[in-house]
Each structure stands twice: as structure tokens, then as C-alpha cells.
Amino acid sequence: MNQQKPFEVIAIVGTPRHNNALETHLTVYNWLKDRNYTILVENSVAEQLQLDESYSLDEIGQRAELVIVIGGDGNMLGMARALAKYRVPLIGINRGNLGFLTDIAPQTAFEQLYSCLMKNEFVIEERFLLEACVERNGKIISSNNALNEIVIHPSQIARIIEFEVYIDGKFAFSQRADGLIVSTPTGSTAYSLSAGGPILTPNMNAIALVPMHPHTLSSRPLVVDGDSHISLRFSKQITSELEVICDGQVALPFTPEDRVLVRKSIDKLQLLHLKDYNYFTVLGSKLGWASKLF
């Protein structure tokens, strides 16, 4: 007896950086078409593939039952911010470099897609996002979400800023540094890791605060509860322009008179993995950790 398909309407998204990536988009499209799925292809991809029908990300979020992201982790980050509010599951085929989030290898993509789509061999993992807001005179003037991290820093490199950090309205610490990284567990293996931050397993309800090049030897990363409300105030003596960067992709400019607020977003990413997915195997592979001794 045939198992019922877990998904009928599947979207293909992701900005191809080279011809090999675009070829993956086309082969996945044809593979799904041969199996009679309803396929929604993102506008920019459909144009490059010369398809008659194309869909915006909002249309995909409203209609798709599964989204296949083809590309690197940068593509997955952008799609997570755009589609998390629709709670549609995302699965990634890696055409980038590290592939912490896009964990299906293109060489075995169809074997793994078959296990997922035809044999129901998958799990859905929920990852939380952060929301960053710039507050001016008591009003929110800009905001955006981040799956990996929020980075607060001067818009010019090698500029020191002075700021105070408050956790749930209580003063936590002051800092002179190049900036501050506020990271989710998902982002703990990204920019935060390169700045000396801790690795947090994805299921943790925690946020890491990692100073960037602090001007004191006593400064250390701080891990706080994932439901904490974090706010930053800045020295009025700062003369350089300031920015909040979300996932390295979206910039929110602000002034020293403004306040930056960071908290858990109401949106959550639904990340689909094969049943045999092991986070520690992925971690060890990407970071070059030694294999088992026995």
C-alpha cells in the first residue's frame, strides 16, 4: 500500500551564484515534476529557468507545504527571515561552502529527497529567531529579524564604541569595544564563533552576548536566557555612524541617542532534516573535529 505523500505543494527558492547551482534548481524542478508535485518556483529562479509561472515569497509562504532552499547558508538565512512567519518547513540543498543549515549534499540530493518526500523519513526542528528594534524617543523606527545573529557596531571599521547593556531592564555591564554580537544557538557556529563565542546546541533556549575586540582583558561572552529582553544604550560622545546588522544581510542605521532592543522573535523557523540527522556529526565535520577513537 502506498504511503500518502506528506507534502503536495513544494516551492523551490534560493539565488544561484553560478551555473552549477542553477543546474541543481532545474534538476530538482524536473524531479518533482516527474512525480506530479505542485511546484512553486521563486520569481528570480523561474526567470533564469525561463519558466512560464513564478511566485513571490509571500505567495510561496501562503501556499507551499514545503520549501526547498538551494544554495548556501546565506540563502537559508534570507529565506528563514522571509518565510518563518508562515511556519512552512524549509529544507536545504547545499550549493555553498559550510552548509550548517543546508545539510543535503547535491551528490545525494535525490536519494535524500526520496527518503523525505516519498518515505516520510524526516523530522522538523524548530529554531528561534531574534528581533532587533531601533527605538527613538520611545517609538520603534526600524526593526528586522535574524536567524543567526544581531551585530551592533560602527559603520566604519576600527572605531571603538562605548555602550551599556541591560538584561530585562537591569544593568548588566558596560563595554568599550568594536561592537557586540547577540547570537542565537543557530548562529553560535557563525560570526559569534569566530569572535570567541560559545557553541550552543540548537535546542537550547539561550542567547549569547559576545563583545567584539573588547578593550579590557576581563571581558567574556555571556549566555543569558532565551526569553531575555536585551537593550543597549550608547555614549553620546560617539561621533561615528552606527548600525544594527541582521544576519550580515540587513542594516538598520541608528544614532547614539537611540536605544537598540533585542529579544526573541514571535516567528520560528521550521527546519526539516532527514531522520538520521545528527547535529554533532555536522558540527564535527564542519569544524574538523576528530572522529571516534573506538
Q: How far is CA 231 from CA 165, 180, 214, in A?
A: 6, 12, 18
Euclidean distance between CA atoms 20 and 154, whole angstroms: 37
Give the number of other Cβ atoms within 10 Å of residue 201's Cβ: 11
Question: Is residue 176 marked as binding?
Answer: yes
Euclidean distance between CA atoms 130 and 246, whole angstroms: 9
Euclidean distance between CA atoms 26 and 35, whole angstroms: 14
Question: Is residue 87 marked as binding?
Answer: no
- Exposure of 262 in the CB half-sphere (CA atoms within 13 A): 33
Question: Is residue 149 marked as binding?
Answer: yes
Q: CA geometry: angle at 34 spanning 30 and 37, to 5°?
A: 90
Question: Is residue 178 marked as binding?
Answer: yes
Question: Is residue 55 marked as binding?
Answer: no
Euclidean distance between CA atoms 225 and 232, whole angstroms: 17
Question: Is residue 201 marked as binding?
Answer: no
Q: Which residues belong to the active site? A: 73
* Centroid of chain to Cα 104: 16
Question: Is residue 179 marked as binding?
Answer: no
Q: Do residues 91 and 114 lie in contact, with contact meaning Cβ atoms separated by under 8 Å?
A: no
One-letter amino acid at 237 equals Q
H/E stretch holding 251: strand 250-254
Question: Is residue 62 marked as binding?
Answer: no
H/E stretch holding 282: helix 279-287
C-alpha cell at 89: 518547513
Question: Is residue 227 marked as binding?
Answer: no
Question: Is residue 52 marked as binding?
Answer: no
Residues annotated in the binding site for NAD(+), as ranges?
73-74, 148-149, 159, 176, 178, 189-194, 249
Residues annotated in the binding site, as ranges?
73-74, 148-149, 159, 176, 178, 189-194, 249
